[in-house]
Amino acid sequence: VPLLARGGTKTARLWTYVRDDRPFAGTAPPAVVFRFSRDRGGEHPTEHLRGWQGILQADAYAGYNQLYDAKRLPGPVSPALCWSHSRRKFFELADIESNIRKGKSAKEISPIAFEAVKRIDALFDIEREINGQDPVARLAARQHRSAPLVEDLQSWLRSERALLSKHAKVAKAIDYLLSPDHWPGFTRFLEDGRVFLTNNCAARSL
């Protein structure tokens, strides 16, 4: 958000913390809290969530890393990363209409990114079907249907990545998803029926 300051307008931040248990049939009412800060420093979420422990569904912003520290008291927060963020990195390389509007030829569209979007969308299709079911039912469906798709996606992306230059745009999208620091967070939804596939509810709250 813009902040009027001496010497000109600066960019300040609003942090949004959302609870919405309806997708897993939870009974707690939805809620959102906004916190303001003058910058995007990681000390802000660390302070906002001081004393809290649980699962944080968010993007892969490094400013949250203090929350995930094993030495944190009362204990580390468990990260659950957002598949919408990962999908977007592939989608931007696979969006034929948008790229043509930018003057790029169809040959410049990444077939790897296009295939990755299709595979990720299959996970979203499953999530739409199980939305509103209890955590046990959601987890069972994910372990039976989603887990094999995720395993295949990981294996396929690894094989494609091995053939790419590190400077390839699609390689950066693959690295974001498959990073050893990120992958456990992306697959957290396969271990807990309460976890969402995305943190889109935070974006909607804004």
Q: Where are the beta strands (DSSP E) in 6-150?
A: 8-11, 13-19, 31-37, 55-58, 78-81
Hey, is 70 helix, strand or coil?
Answer: coil
Residue 11's pLDDT band (cuts 50, 70, 90)? very high
Residue 188's pLDDT band (cuts 50, 70, 90)? very high
Residue 27's pLDDT band (cuts 50, 70, 90)? very high
Task: Report pTM.
Answer: 0.91
**pLDDT at position 95:** 80
Chain-centroid distance, C-alpha 13: 19
Q: Average pLDDT, stretch 60-76?
A: 95
**pLDDT at position 94:** 86
pLDDT at 134 over 80: yes
> Using CA atoms, how far apart are residues 42 and 2, in angstroms rounded to an integer?
19
pLDDT at 135 over 70: yes
Q: Average pLDDT, stretch 43-53?
A: 97
Angle in degrees, 0-180, between the axes of helices 169-178 and 147-161, rounded to the nearest 10: 140
**Parallel, antiparallel, or unpaired for β 31-37 and 55-58?**
unpaired
**pLDDT at position 161:** 97
Give the mean pLDDT of the chain.
94
Contact 106, 96 (CB under 8 A): yes
- The vertex-162 CA angle with 159 and 167, nearest 5°, equals 130
pLDDT at 108 over 70: no
**pLDDT at position 110:** 86
pLDDT at 99 over 70: no
Closest CA relative to residue 169, chosen from 125, 79, 104: 104
Whole-number percent of the chain with pLDDT over 70? 94
Which residues make beta-bridge pairs with 74? none
**pLDDT at position 104:** 67
**pLDDT at position 39:** 95
Residue 166's pLDDT band (cuts 50, 70, 90)? confident
pLDDT at 100 over 70: no
- For residue 157 the two structure tokens come to 């992306």
